[in-house]
A and B are shown apart, each in its own frame.
Chain A
Amino acid sequence: MTPWVEFVVAALIVIGTVFALVGSIGLVKLPDVMTRLHSPTKATTLGVGALLVASIISFYHWKGKLAINELLITLFLFLTAPVAAQFLARAYLHLHCDSAGDLPATNRPCQWSTFQCACPPDAEDGSAAKP
Protein backbone atom coordinates (compact mmCIF):
# COMPACT_ATOMS: atom_id res chain seq x y z
CA MET A 1 0.00 0.00 0.00
CA THR A 2 2.66 2.43 1.09
CA PRO A 3 4.52 2.68 -2.24
CA TRP A 4 1.26 3.57 -3.96
CA VAL A 5 0.52 6.25 -1.42
CA GLU A 6 4.03 7.58 -1.77
CA PHE A 7 3.66 7.63 -5.51
CA VAL A 8 0.38 9.46 -5.38
CA VAL A 9 1.64 12.00 -2.88
CA ALA A 10 4.80 12.57 -4.84
CA ALA A 11 2.87 12.97 -8.05
CA LEU A 12 0.54 15.48 -6.49
CA ILE A 13 3.42 17.47 -5.10
CA VAL A 14 5.12 17.52 -8.49
CA ILE A 15 1.91 18.57 -10.20
CA GLY A 16 1.35 21.28 -7.64
CA THR A 17 4.82 22.70 -7.91
CA VAL A 18 4.77 22.52 -11.70
CA PHE A 19 1.59 24.57 -11.80
CA ALA A 20 3.01 27.06 -9.34
CA LEU A 21 6.11 27.29 -11.50
CA VAL A 22 4.03 27.77 -14.62
CA GLY A 23 2.20 30.60 -12.92
CA SER A 24 5.52 32.27 -12.25
CA ILE A 25 6.78 31.64 -15.77
CA GLY A 26 3.60 33.20 -17.05
CA LEU A 27 4.29 36.32 -15.08
CA VAL A 28 7.62 36.63 -16.83
CA LYS A 29 6.63 35.55 -20.29
CA LEU A 30 3.29 37.20 -20.93
CA PRO A 31 3.52 40.59 -22.57
CA ASP A 32 1.27 42.99 -20.62
CA VAL A 33 -0.50 43.51 -17.33
CA MET A 34 -3.83 42.10 -18.38
CA THR A 35 -2.48 38.89 -19.85
CA ARG A 36 -0.17 38.42 -16.90
CA LEU A 37 -3.21 38.62 -14.69
CA HIS A 38 -4.39 35.30 -16.07
CA SER A 39 -1.59 33.21 -14.80
CA PRO A 40 -1.77 33.78 -11.02
CA THR A 41 -5.57 33.52 -10.96
CA LYS A 42 -5.60 30.09 -12.46
CA ALA A 43 -2.34 28.26 -12.40
CA THR A 44 -1.77 28.82 -8.71
CA THR A 45 -5.20 27.70 -7.57
CA LEU A 46 -4.62 24.24 -8.97
CA GLY A 47 -1.05 24.21 -7.75
CA VAL A 48 -2.04 24.95 -4.19
CA GLY A 49 -4.98 22.56 -4.43
CA ALA A 50 -2.76 19.67 -5.50
CA LEU A 51 -0.28 20.36 -2.71
CA LEU A 52 -3.06 20.39 -0.14
CA VAL A 53 -4.49 17.11 -1.35
CA ALA A 54 -1.02 15.63 -1.10
CA SER A 55 -0.78 16.95 2.43
CA ILE A 56 -4.14 15.49 3.42
CA ILE A 57 -3.30 12.09 2.02
CA SER A 58 0.10 11.92 3.60
CA PHE A 59 -1.11 13.03 7.00
CA TYR A 60 -3.97 10.56 6.87
CA HIS A 61 -1.72 7.74 5.86
CA TRP A 62 1.22 8.34 8.18
CA LYS A 63 -0.32 10.16 11.12
CA GLY A 64 -3.80 8.66 10.88
CA LYS A 65 -5.34 12.09 11.11
CA LEU A 66 -7.90 13.24 8.60
CA ALA A 67 -7.29 16.95 8.11
CA ILE A 68 -10.37 18.12 6.27
CA ASN A 69 -9.63 21.71 7.22
CA GLU A 70 -6.84 21.91 4.67
CA LEU A 71 -9.46 21.78 1.94
CA LEU A 72 -10.80 25.02 3.29
CA ILE A 73 -7.59 26.73 2.26
CA THR A 74 -8.51 25.99 -1.36
CA LEU A 75 -12.00 27.28 -0.74
CA PHE A 76 -10.63 30.54 0.64
CA LEU A 77 -8.30 30.81 -2.34
CA PHE A 78 -11.25 30.42 -4.70
CA LEU A 79 -12.94 33.22 -2.84
CA THR A 80 -10.04 35.61 -2.79
CA ALA A 81 -8.35 35.07 -6.16
CA PRO A 82 -11.17 36.63 -8.25
CA VAL A 83 -11.42 39.60 -5.95
CA ALA A 84 -7.69 40.23 -6.11
CA ALA A 85 -7.78 39.85 -9.88
CA GLN A 86 -10.62 42.29 -10.23
CA PHE A 87 -8.87 44.80 -7.99
CA LEU A 88 -5.81 44.65 -10.19
CA ALA A 89 -7.83 44.81 -13.38
CA ARG A 90 -9.75 47.82 -12.19
CA ALA A 91 -6.58 49.59 -11.16
CA TYR A 92 -5.24 48.90 -14.64
CA LEU A 93 -8.41 50.17 -16.29
CA HIS A 94 -8.41 53.21 -14.11
CA LEU A 95 -4.80 54.13 -14.74
CA HIS A 96 -4.20 53.04 -18.34
CA CYS A 97 -7.47 52.84 -20.24
CA ASP A 98 -9.81 55.34 -21.63
CA SER A 99 -13.39 54.25 -21.63
CA ALA A 100 -14.18 55.36 -25.17
CA GLY A 101 -11.09 54.21 -26.96
CA ASP A 102 -9.64 51.05 -25.52
CA LEU A 103 -12.65 49.15 -24.32
CA PRO A 104 -15.62 47.60 -26.04
CA ALA A 105 -18.98 49.30 -25.67
CA THR A 106 -21.12 48.31 -22.73
CA ASN A 107 -24.16 47.95 -24.98
CA ARG A 108 -25.95 49.82 -22.24
CA PRO A 109 -26.85 53.50 -21.83
CA CYS A 110 -24.01 53.89 -19.36
CA GLN A 111 -20.26 53.43 -19.03
CA TRP A 112 -18.14 50.83 -17.31
CA SER A 113 -18.38 51.45 -13.63
CA THR A 114 -14.69 52.32 -13.28
CA PHE A 115 -15.51 55.46 -15.23
CA GLN A 116 -18.96 56.17 -13.94
CA CYS A 117 -20.28 55.89 -10.45
CA ALA A 118 -22.88 53.18 -10.18
CA CYS A 119 -23.86 54.52 -6.77
CA PRO A 120 -25.83 51.66 -5.33
CA PRO A 121 -28.28 53.13 -2.85
CA ASP A 122 -26.55 51.71 0.24
CA ALA A 123 -23.19 53.24 -0.52
CA GLU A 124 -24.45 56.70 -1.24
CA ASP A 125 -22.73 58.47 1.58
CA GLY A 126 -20.15 60.27 -0.45
CA SER A 127 -17.30 59.04 1.66
CA ALA A 128 -14.75 56.30 1.63
CA ALA A 129 -12.44 54.70 4.09
CA LYS A 130 -10.18 54.17 1.15
CA PRO A 131 -9.52 57.80 0.36
Chain B
Amino acid sequence: MTKPSEIASPKLPFRQRWIPHPSLTGVMILLWVAMANNFSPGGWLLGTCLGLAIPLLTQSIWDTTPKIASYGNVLIYALVVLWDVLVANIEVAWLILFESPRDLRPQWITVPLDLRSREGIAVLAGTVTLTPGTVSCDLSADGRSMLVHCLDARDIEEIIRRIKTRYEARLLRIFR
Protein backbone atom coordinates (compact mmCIF):
# COMPACT_ATOMS: atom_id res chain seq x y z
CA MET B 1 0.00 0.00 0.00
CA THR B 2 2.84 2.30 0.79
CA LYS B 3 4.65 3.85 -2.06
CA PRO B 4 7.96 2.04 -2.29
CA SER B 5 9.87 5.28 -2.28
CA GLU B 6 8.56 6.03 1.16
CA ILE B 7 9.63 2.73 2.67
CA ALA B 8 12.97 2.58 1.08
CA SER B 9 14.04 6.11 1.79
CA PRO B 10 17.64 5.31 2.70
CA LYS B 11 18.41 8.36 4.80
CA LEU B 12 16.44 7.26 7.82
CA PRO B 13 18.17 5.32 10.58
CA PHE B 14 17.22 1.69 10.94
CA ARG B 15 14.70 2.09 13.75
CA GLN B 16 12.76 4.89 12.12
CA ARG B 17 12.78 3.16 8.82
CA TRP B 18 11.49 -0.22 9.86
CA ILE B 19 9.62 0.64 13.05
CA PRO B 20 8.18 4.04 12.24
CA HIS B 21 5.64 3.96 15.03
CA PRO B 22 6.95 1.97 17.99
CA SER B 23 3.93 2.71 20.14
CA LEU B 24 1.58 1.56 17.41
CA THR B 25 3.65 -1.58 17.00
CA GLY B 26 3.36 -2.25 20.71
CA VAL B 27 -0.38 -1.69 20.68
CA MET B 28 -0.75 -3.97 17.67
CA ILE B 29 1.15 -6.81 19.35
CA LEU B 30 -0.88 -6.52 22.53
CA LEU B 31 -4.14 -6.29 20.61
CA TRP B 32 -3.24 -9.29 18.52
CA VAL B 33 -2.50 -11.64 21.38
CA ALA B 34 -5.57 -10.38 23.18
CA MET B 35 -7.76 -10.73 20.12
CA ALA B 36 -6.44 -14.12 19.09
CA ASN B 37 -6.55 -15.03 22.80
CA ASN B 38 -3.31 -16.85 22.18
CA PHE B 39 -0.59 -16.10 24.69
CA SER B 40 1.70 -18.87 23.51
CA PRO B 41 5.08 -17.96 21.99
CA GLY B 42 3.59 -18.56 18.58
CA GLY B 43 0.89 -15.99 19.22
CA TRP B 44 3.44 -13.39 20.33
CA LEU B 45 5.58 -14.17 17.29
CA LEU B 46 2.71 -13.72 14.85
CA GLY B 47 1.63 -10.60 16.72
CA THR B 48 5.12 -9.18 16.41
CA CYS B 49 5.16 -9.88 12.70
CA LEU B 50 1.85 -8.10 12.27
CA GLY B 51 2.87 -5.32 14.62
CA LEU B 52 5.86 -4.69 12.42
CA ALA B 53 4.14 -5.18 9.07
CA ILE B 54 0.91 -3.24 9.49
CA PRO B 55 2.48 0.08 10.56
CA LEU B 56 4.86 -0.23 7.63
CA LEU B 57 1.98 -0.91 5.25
CA THR B 58 -0.16 1.91 6.53
CA GLN B 59 2.67 4.35 7.05
CA SER B 60 1.59 6.40 4.10
CA ILE B 61 -1.64 7.55 5.71
CA TRP B 62 0.12 9.30 8.58
CA ASP B 63 1.27 12.73 7.78
CA THR B 64 2.26 13.34 11.36
CA THR B 65 3.20 10.91 14.08
CA PRO B 66 1.53 11.53 17.42
CA LYS B 67 4.21 11.82 20.09
CA ILE B 68 3.22 10.26 23.34
CA ALA B 69 5.17 11.77 26.19
CA SER B 70 4.25 9.56 29.10
CA TYR B 71 2.74 6.08 29.06
CA GLY B 72 2.02 6.19 32.78
CA ASN B 73 -0.29 9.12 32.21
CA VAL B 74 -2.05 7.19 29.46
CA LEU B 75 -2.89 4.46 31.96
CA ILE B 76 -4.10 6.93 34.58
CA TYR B 77 -6.18 8.74 32.00
CA ALA B 78 -7.72 5.48 30.84
CA LEU B 79 -8.72 4.56 34.39
CA VAL B 80 -10.17 8.01 35.07
CA VAL B 81 -12.21 7.84 31.88
CA LEU B 82 -13.38 4.33 32.64
CA TRP B 83 -14.62 5.45 36.04
CA ASP B 84 -16.30 8.47 34.55
CA VAL B 85 -18.00 6.36 31.92
CA LEU B 86 -19.42 4.22 34.68
CA VAL B 87 -20.67 7.29 36.46
CA ALA B 88 -21.93 8.81 33.23
CA ASN B 89 -23.99 5.79 32.47
CA ILE B 90 -25.62 5.81 35.86
CA GLU B 91 -26.24 9.55 35.75
CA VAL B 92 -27.78 9.47 32.34
CA ALA B 93 -29.85 6.46 33.24
CA TRP B 94 -31.11 8.34 36.29
CA LEU B 95 -31.97 11.36 34.22
CA ILE B 96 -33.75 9.28 31.62
CA LEU B 97 -35.72 7.23 34.09
CA PHE B 98 -36.64 9.62 36.81
CA GLU B 99 -36.51 13.11 35.44
CA SER B 100 -39.29 14.56 33.42
CA PRO B 101 -38.02 15.69 30.06
CA ARG B 102 -39.44 19.10 30.82
CA ASP B 103 -37.06 19.61 33.74
CA LEU B 104 -34.02 18.96 31.55
CA ARG B 105 -32.13 22.02 30.48
CA PRO B 106 -30.26 20.92 27.37
CA GLN B 107 -27.85 23.53 26.14
CA TRP B 108 -24.95 24.14 23.77
CA ILE B 109 -21.72 25.30 25.33
CA THR B 110 -18.39 26.42 23.93
CA VAL B 111 -15.24 25.00 25.44
CA PRO B 112 -12.02 26.83 24.59
CA LEU B 113 -9.19 24.43 23.88
CA ASP B 114 -5.54 24.61 24.86
CA LEU B 115 -4.73 21.29 23.22
CA ARG B 116 -3.19 21.61 19.77
CA SER B 117 -2.42 18.01 18.88
CA ARG B 118 -5.05 16.73 16.49
CA GLU B 119 -5.00 13.29 18.04
CA GLY B 120 -5.27 14.85 21.46
CA ILE B 121 -8.35 16.81 20.47
CA ALA B 122 -9.87 13.66 18.99
CA VAL B 123 -9.33 11.78 22.25
CA LEU B 124 -10.75 14.67 24.22
CA ALA B 125 -13.82 14.81 22.00
CA GLY B 126 -14.32 11.08 22.43
CA THR B 127 -13.96 11.36 26.17
CA VAL B 128 -16.42 14.21 26.39
CA THR B 129 -18.96 12.15 24.50
CA LEU B 130 -18.51 9.11 26.70
CA THR B 131 -18.65 10.97 30.00
CA PRO B 132 -21.53 12.49 32.02
CA GLY B 133 -24.14 14.46 30.24
CA THR B 134 -22.08 15.83 27.38
CA VAL B 135 -21.69 15.09 23.69
CA SER B 136 -18.98 16.78 21.67
CA CYS B 137 -20.46 18.00 18.43
CA ASP B 138 -18.14 20.26 16.52
CA LEU B 139 -14.92 22.16 16.49
CA SER B 140 -14.39 25.70 15.43
CA ALA B 141 -12.88 26.01 12.00
CA ASP B 142 -9.46 26.77 13.46
CA GLY B 143 -9.71 23.92 15.94
CA ARG B 144 -9.40 26.13 19.03
CA SER B 145 -12.92 25.69 20.45
CA MET B 146 -15.15 22.71 20.92
CA LEU B 147 -18.91 22.74 20.65
CA VAL B 148 -20.44 20.54 23.32
CA HIS B 149 -24.05 19.66 23.89
CA CYS B 150 -25.12 19.23 27.52
CA LEU B 151 -28.09 17.15 28.48
CA ASP B 152 -28.72 18.99 31.68
CA ALA B 153 -26.68 22.17 31.97
CA ARG B 154 -27.41 23.52 35.44
CA ASP B 155 -23.87 24.73 35.98
CA ILE B 156 -22.05 25.54 32.77
CA GLU B 157 -18.93 26.77 34.47
CA GLU B 158 -18.59 23.54 36.41
CA ILE B 159 -18.85 21.46 33.23
CA ILE B 160 -16.24 23.50 31.39
CA ARG B 161 -13.93 23.44 34.40
CA ARG B 162 -14.35 19.69 34.66
CA ILE B 163 -13.51 19.10 30.99
CA LYS B 164 -10.50 21.35 31.17
CA THR B 165 -8.97 20.16 34.40
CA ARG B 166 -9.98 16.55 34.52
CA TYR B 167 -9.34 15.62 30.88
CA GLU B 168 -7.62 18.31 28.90
CA ALA B 169 -4.93 18.94 31.47
CA ARG B 170 -4.07 15.24 31.52
CA LEU B 171 -4.09 15.01 27.76
CA LEU B 172 -1.78 18.00 27.57
CA ARG B 173 0.70 15.98 29.55
CA ILE B 174 0.30 12.98 27.21
CA PHE B 175 0.34 14.60 23.77
CA ARG B 176 3.18 17.02 23.38
Contacts and interface: CB of A to CB of B under 8 A. Distances in A.
Interface of A: 18-19, 22, 25-26, 29-32, 34-35, 37-39, 41-43, 45-47, 65-69, 71-72, 78-79, 81-83, 85-86, 89-90, 93, 102-114, 116-118, 122
Contacts of B129: 41, 81-82, 85-86
B137 A93 contact: yes
A63 B132 CA distance: 37
Contact of A89 (B132, B135, B143): B135
Label chain A's interface by main secondary structure: helix
B126 A107 contact: no
Given A93-B137, A114-B138, A45 B108 contact: no
B139 A112 contact: yes
Contact of A90 (B106, B132, B137, B140): B137
A82 to B, nearest CB: 4
B34 A85 contact: no
B141 A43 contact: no
B139 A113 contact: yes
Interface of B: 31, 34-37, 63, 85-86, 88-90, 92-93, 96-97, 101, 104, 106, 108-110, 112, 125-130, 132-133, 135-145, 147, 149, 151
B92 A116 contact: no
A39 B92 contact: yes
Contacts of A45: 85, 89, 130
Contact of A22 (B37, B88, B93): B93
Nearest to B97: A22
Nearest to B149: A34
Most buried by A among B138, B139, B142, B149: B138
A17 to B, nearest CB: 12
A38 B140 contact: no
